[in-house]
Structure 1
Amino acid sequence: MFWLLLYVVVVDALVASFEVIASNQHLLAVRGRPAVLGCEFTPDSDLSNLVVTWQRQEDSRVVHSFYYQQDQLDRQCPKYRNRTSLNVSELYKGNASLRIAAIRPKDAGWYLCIVTNTKGTGRVSMQVTYGALYSEPRLSIHVNSSALKVQFETEGFPKPEVIWLGEHNRNLSYHLEIYGQTEDGLYFVKSICEAQKPMLNVTFILKNPLLNQHLQRQVFLNYDTTDHVIIALVALSVVCILLIIGIIWLAVQKQNKHRSSL
């Protein structure tokens, strides 16, 4: 009975001494960049009994596996093929962190790091959130007889906060269109601000709070309507001149035809 109790105490002590810890339980991953999911465990100098399994928590898809002292990727989910890696030299130190190359939208979600060695078995979960920096806003200006329209287009993730400011930081009304996610997981954003005066001085601001991104672009335009009046007058003058030339040509043709008939 004494030996049985001693065995139980020793086993409990070994299990209690084994830990699996997430370096960061919430990882913010940026589109196109690699992400490192940190996982640390109580190390053992002998890797022959080490088993490391990374999988998606929601459906148990295998993201990466390591046992028999090498990567075992036969059961790896195809979406992670050639994109994941462990640093084998770090496994001796108890570091089972997983590197995922070129983060994609569908990489977001919950992950499990499961580790087993001679000292015990443990697991830890962590969440990966996906974000994409918004591209440089593309500017276009539309002019008609009564108004000026300034438009910016850009792509990113998640949905942004948009602000238009006029002179003296006055908030302006604007039109905002956000289209559904593309194959790259980006939102296409188009915003238009309209001005009813010849001089335009507006500032476009876009914020991506998730990635702490702040884009600010100022547009200054002096739209002189007199230029359009001059252009219209010149065009009208050309039309008049062409009309006079046509009338003279017809008169000459008529006179020549009359002479030839005599």
Structure 2
Amino acid sequence: MENLLGVLVTFGFSLMAAGFEVHVPREPVTVIHGHYAVLQCSFTPSAMSTEGIVITWQRDDTNEVVHSYYYNKEQLSKQSHRYTGRASIFPEEIKRGNASLKLEGVRPEDSGKYMCFVSTKQADANGIISVKFAAYYKEPVLVIELGTNATLFRFES
């Protein structure tokens, strides 16, 4: 009987761990130069204990640590210098299954692939987000100046 109970408990744990997933957008996320962006990442089931949770955001292409959270606090010493003061998560939202990353002052080099990794005492999973960079610009206007000996064409914006 003890063996059967052990099998049932183990099987129940496996089902719970198998249900753990990380969700990120499937489509690429476009971020705007100089603005902030929130890279969405959530995990399920949200009812799981967040004690001992580890959330790590890193570049999938370079393995740079963008942001790291464990032992119930942000681990900024692990962060790549390129993201110092620009990357954060929402610690108060972790208990709701939110592991999203806020990236401030977006730069062209921020485009690429990012991995959101979430680990609990029961299971771990990750998701990869593709980030595209964009910038606003003012439509240029063609100015034509006619002179006696020459015509000057110039774009202004």
The two structures have a TM-score, normalised by structure 2, of 0.86
Q: Aligned residue for 2:18? A: 16
AA in 1 matched with 2:123: G
Q: Aligned residue for 2:29? A: 27
Q: Aligned residue for 1:48? A: 51
AA in 1 matched with 2:21: E
Q: Does 1:93 align with 2:96?
A: yes
Query: Aligned partners of 2:43 and 2:102: how far apart in 1?
Result: 17
| One of 128, 133, 137 as aligned partner of 2:136 | 133
Contact 1:23 1:40 survives alignment (8 Å): no
- What whole-Å deviation, never above 9, does each CA across 1:23-59 have from its counterpart, x for those lacking one? 4541000111101000000224643311100000012
Query: Aligned partners of 2:76 and 2:97: how far apart in 1?
Result: 21
Deviation larger for 12-21 or 58-67: 12-21
Superposed counterparts of 1:180-199, under 5 Å: none
Higher relative contact order (CA 8 A, sep 6+): 2
Displacement of 1:153 in angstroms is 3.8
Runs of 5+ in structure 2 lacking a partner?
A: none
Q: Does 1:105 align with 2:101?
A: no
Superposed counterparts of 1:54-73, under 5 Å: 54-73=57-76
Contact 2:59 2:114 survives alignment (8 Å): yes
Q: Aligned residue for 1:237? A: none
The two structures have a TM-score, normalised by structure 1, of 0.54
Query: Aligned partners of 2:145 and 2:39: how far apart in 1?
Result: 47
Runs of 5+ in structure 1 lacking a partner?
A: 155-262
What is the aligned-residue RMSD (CA, Å)? 2.1
Deviation larger for 130-139 or 102-111: 130-139
Percent of pairs with identical residues = 34
Query: Aligned partners of 1:152 and 1:118: how far apart in 2?
Result: 60
Contact 2:33 2:135 survives alignment (8 Å): yes
| One of 57, 77, 81 as aligned partner of 1:78 | 81
Determine which structure has more spread, i.e. the larger CA radius of gyration: 1
- Structure with higher helix content: 1
Q: Aligned residue for 1:249? A: none
